[in-house]
Amino acid sequence: MEIKFIENVNKKVKPEASTLGFGKFFTDHMAQITWSQEKGWHNPRIVPFENLSIHPASTVLHYGAEIFEGLKAYRRKDGGVQLFRPMENIKRLNASAERLCLPTINEDLALELLTEFVKVEQAWTPYQEGTSLYLRPFLFGNDETLGVHSVHNAELIIIASPVGSYYKEGINPVKIMIEDEDVRAVRGGTGFAKCGGNYAASTRAGKRAEDKGYAQVLWLDGVERKYIEEVGAMNVMFKINGTIVTPMLSGSILPGITRKSCIEVLKSKGFKVEERLLSIDELKNAMASGALEEAFGCGTAAVVSPIGELCYQGVKYEVGGGKIGEVTQMLYDTLTGIQWGKVEDTFGWTYKI
């Protein structure tokens, strides 16, 4: 399908790398493709970044028919730009779409739109260490009716934002609060899908944690509030007595691409990795006995983020002496090395633009 290009003649001034933060600045263009039940996906286009105009009854505004993805374009040390496992994001977008009865998209078409867009915006990929161009595809139902049905019209849009680190702590350990009141998702619900509603449901607990000085919450399962699930914007891993333990994909947590990549790196280096149920009691015991050696989160925005303190029911547990652990550092170095093209990609994960 031919992608139409309308150039933005009013280019913005690019921000200083030191002011980036996360998701505050946006590039000059956005990519868009429209879907209708009659025509399927049509009219792929890259157009000037601008406000959207949608009908006040649009499905997304009332019933939350929205899913999204997050991936990054990295500036290689040879000056080129590359993506990290983009097909994984496209496959997950389609898995989310199926769960929310939104239209799925041909994987090759989605990859073509994404890569053409990154080509147009590649000058926005910052050069400074630790920075990247965050890409945010999102897909929403756009019927002009208040009836609750599967949608007949939808839009897929990709926007891009030059970013620095997600947490103000950067690679320094973050403090995480274990939430025992609100729940994020239940099996059979939408926990495994990357839909906006999951984040809306998470905000109250996240705010309570932030008000107490914690970066994010660690969720427990929605039924028994007993098993560890994931953090607000990342999956979570623990090193307990030398073994890496991470919650299994039970349907209520996001199947993170960074999580999958960490597991593959760990296994390739001979670490024992267990994907299984991990109860809060087991974690509490491991924290109290010193068996918990490291804890870290992993995600596209957060990269690999050491956890230096966990708080559960008012009791604070320091993890790893509040410092980044060896395995956490190794994963950070390996993944960021591959992503920024500084170390050889023996896994075949990078996709040059």
Element counts in the chain: helices (H) and strands (E): 7, 18
Which of ligand COI, ligand PLP, none binds 257 (CB below 5-8 Å, type-dependent)? ligand PLP
For residues 79 and 289, give the distance between their C-alpha atoms in angstroms, rounded to a whole number. Answer: 48
The nearer residue to ligand PLP, 109 or 201, going by C-beta atoms, is: 201
Residues 30-89 that bind ligand PLP (CB under 6 A): 70
* Burial grade of 148 (CB within 10 A; 0-12, 13-18, 19 or more): exposed
Q: Based on the shown chain and the rule CB under 6 A, indicate whether residue 178 belongs to the binding site for ligand PLP.
A: no
Which of ligand PLP, ligand COI, none binds 336 (CB below 5-8 Å, type-dependent)? none
Minimum Å distance from CB 100 to ligand PLP? Answer: 16
Q: Based on the shown chain and the rule CB under 6 A, indicate whether residue 301 belongs to the binding site for ligand COI.
A: yes
Contact 62, 68 (CB under 8 A): no
Which of ligand PLP, ligand COI, none binds 215 (CB below 5-8 Å, type-dependent)? none
Q: Based on the shown chain and the rule CB under 6 A, indicate whether residue 190 belongs to the binding site for ligand COI.
A: no
Q: Based on the shown chain and the rule CB under 6 A, indicate whether residue 197 belongs to the binding site for ligand PLP.
A: no
Per DSSP, the residues of 108-148 read: HHHHHHHHHHHHHHGGGS--STT-EEEEEEEEEE--BS-S-
The nearer residue to ligand COI, 70 or 277, going by C-beta atoms, is: 70
Radius of gyration, CA atoms only, the chain: 20
Instruction: Tell me how many residues contact ligand PLP (CB under 6 A).
Output: 12
- Nearest residue by C-beta to ligand COI? 70
47 phi and psi angles, rounded to 5 deg:
-130, 165
For residues 106 and 95, give the distance between their C-alpha atoms in angstroms, rounded to a whole number. Answer: 12
Q: Based on the shown chain and the rule CB under 6 A, indicate whether residue 299 belongs to the binding site for ligand PLP.
A: yes
For residues 327 and 311, give the distance between their C-alpha atoms in angstroms, rounded to a whole number. Answer: 22
Residues 52-71 that bind ligand COI (CB under 6 A): 70
Which residues contribute to the site for ligand COI (CB under 6 A)?
Answer: 70, 233, 299-301
Which residues contribute to the site for ligand PLP (CB under 6 A)?
Answer: 70, 230, 233-235, 254, 256-259, 299-300
